[in-house]
Structure 1
Amino acid sequence: MLYQVFRPFRLLHRYLVDKKYPKGAYIAERYRVIRKLGSGSYGTTYLCVDSIQQKTCTVKQLRRSRQGRKKYFRMFQQEYELLSKLKHPSIPAASSFFHTENGYFFVMDFVSGENLEQHIFETKKQYNEKEALAVTIDIAQVVDHLHTHRIYHGDIRIPNVMLAGGHAYLIDFGLAKQFRSTRNSEEQSRLEQDLFDLGDILLYLLYTTFEKTTKKALPWTEELTLSPACKHALERLLGIKEPFPSVFEAIDSLRKAKEAAD
């Protein structure tokens, strides 16, 4: 009840405090805003032109309404630190972290493409089983790279997958975490979450070709007609059957399913 009472005030506070940069405005007198790309729980991203290097980039701002809480600053700083040291062609690299009177920012590479959600809904793209497996494998290979560094994304969703140049890119590392000590239950839980999210994306892609013929809601195992290999891999990703011990093993199973679909 208290949440319902105070929520409108929190939203008003965010609206009044969070500075939004319009098109043409400059961030730190260097990055000219082309357009806003999106907002998350603690950050807002802008497509900008770096007036010094004369190239497009993404600038992410820690929302001013979140700066008073150490939790969000740590998450924001951690995201920058992870992106600045990860070297992978399908992960945007971060290049600089700075502070102005309007808050904290960091700069990262701009991925020129469309996210998977936009691609499906705006182009009405349908993925057959082989295509769905191919995209999932592409994403899983990026996740496998993260896991080799004991980094777990924690938010692998279709809006956070970019398609560009025929490849999948993984963005938004705001919930990502790196582990350095002995593996514990939290790390295992994050591994299973990333695996589940990959399964959820695969299931979403497979449903793009589904045409409902009855009003009755049925489980996907009854609604979708899948090959045994694809169904088995999907059930393990979603934890219905014994989960994969790693993304590497999941990729092997997905590849076998894709070969069977050829």
Structure 2
Amino acid sequence: MWTVVATKCKEMINNWRDFPLASGSVWMGRYRIEHFIGRGSYGQAYACIDMTTGNQVLLKRSMPSKKEIGILLLERESRILQKLNHPQIPKWLRYEKQGRHEALVMELIDGENLEHRLIEQNQVYSLKQALDVLKELLQPLAYLHGAGFVHRDVRIPNVLDKEGRLYLIDYGLSCRIGEQLPEELRLALKEADPLEASSGSESSWSVAKRRMRRPEAGSDLYGLGHFFLFMMYAGYEYREGQEELSWEEELELPQNVNRFVSRLLQKTGPAWTSAEHCSQELEQLMASLPD
């Protein structure tokens, strides 16, 4: 009984500590909170006005309840963003420290989230539109891989559309290609438990996430494959009593598109070593499709 009570108390305290900063408040004496954007497992994002420059910025702080792990992830993301310079990647501005508080400040991309479009607005993508999205996202990925990094979280919540340009955001899980993460991070992110992976108890999405977390360029392309299927299934209508089939059978895509997506998911053919090589083959594929 006391264990349950203690757990509940700890949960209440963490919820209180992680409560979003109030709109209109000034943080670190410099950033006026305009509105709360959202939260992930380890961080919170806010749209702010930098009162020193007058510019709109995005402020990302670690969740107070995550303590050292949250700070470690935030510092890693800051160091990686500081090395990147691409028009489809948010620009690093500064890293702030004040007492126990730390924050990453970056360019605010005031765009629409693709997850919102697909789920809330029920937007449907044609095959050509979905392939165009892949083509555009392969540009920041090719740059990222060329710089020696892997994103490791290519999903629809991490893509914003601003005035027709797609941005790849959230580099909180990014790392160098081939990097072995510190043990405390691997444990916190559940990337260091081979018994769980082989127990057969994981959901298909857990297996997919584990594959997306490998420190190699193919992980981002694997995520891109799932991204594409998500877009295509947005317009798919199940018939009553229909048995569950594979995506190849349900979506009825052209054969060469099936082969391309299967290769993204590393089901067939050799894996691409970078997004640039993948992009070249996508160009050829799109040119071969009828208008």
Other-structure match for 2:250: 223
Q: TM-score, normalised by structure 1?
A: 0.89
> Which residue of 242, 254, 276 corresponds with 1:248?
276
Indicate the residue corresponding to 2:89 in structure 1. Answer: 91
Equivalent residue number for residue 232 of structure 2: 206
Equivalence for 2:220: 194
Q: Summarize deviations over 1:136-192 as a string: whole Å, max 9, x none.
A: 1111111111000110011111000111121210111010002488xxxx9975322
Structure 1 position 257 matched with structure 2 position 289: no
Superposition map of 1:156-171 within 5 A: 156-171=154-169
Instruction: State which drifts further: 3-12 or 86-95.
Output: 3-12
Structure 2: distance between partners of 1:55 and 1:133: 35
Letter in 1 for 2:272: F
Larger mean Cα displacement after TM superposition, 15-24 or 191-200: 15-24
Q: 1:189 to 1:18 in 2, by over 3 A?
A: closer
Aligned residue identity for 2:15: Y
Equivalent in the alignment of 2:76:
78
Greater Cα offset, 140-149 or 17-26: 17-26
Cα gap change, 1:29 to 1:189, in 2 (>3 Å): closer
Q: How many residues align?
A: 255
Aligned AA (1:21): L
Partner of 1:238: 265
Aligned to 1:175: 173
Distance of 2:99 and 2:60 partners within structure 1 = 15
Residue 245 of structure 1 aligns with an amino acid whose one-letter code is T
Aligned-residue identity in percent: 29
Of 135, 138, 154, the residue aligned with 1:137 is 135
Structure 1 residues 116 and 8: alpha-carbon distance in aligned structure 2, compared to 1, 3 A threshold: farther
Structure 2, unaligned runs of 5 or more = 180-211
Q: What 5-or-longer segments of structure 1 have no aligned partner?
A: none
Distance 1:180 1:241 in 2: 23
User: Which AA in structure 2 matches 1:46?
Assistant: Y
Partner of 1:31: 31
Contact 2:134 2:224 in 1 (8 A): yes
Aligned to 2:200: none
Work out the CA distance in 2 between the residues paired with 1:88 and 1:79. Answer: 16
Tell me, in whole angstroms, the C-alpha distance in 2 between the residues paired with 1:153 and 1:5. Answer: 39
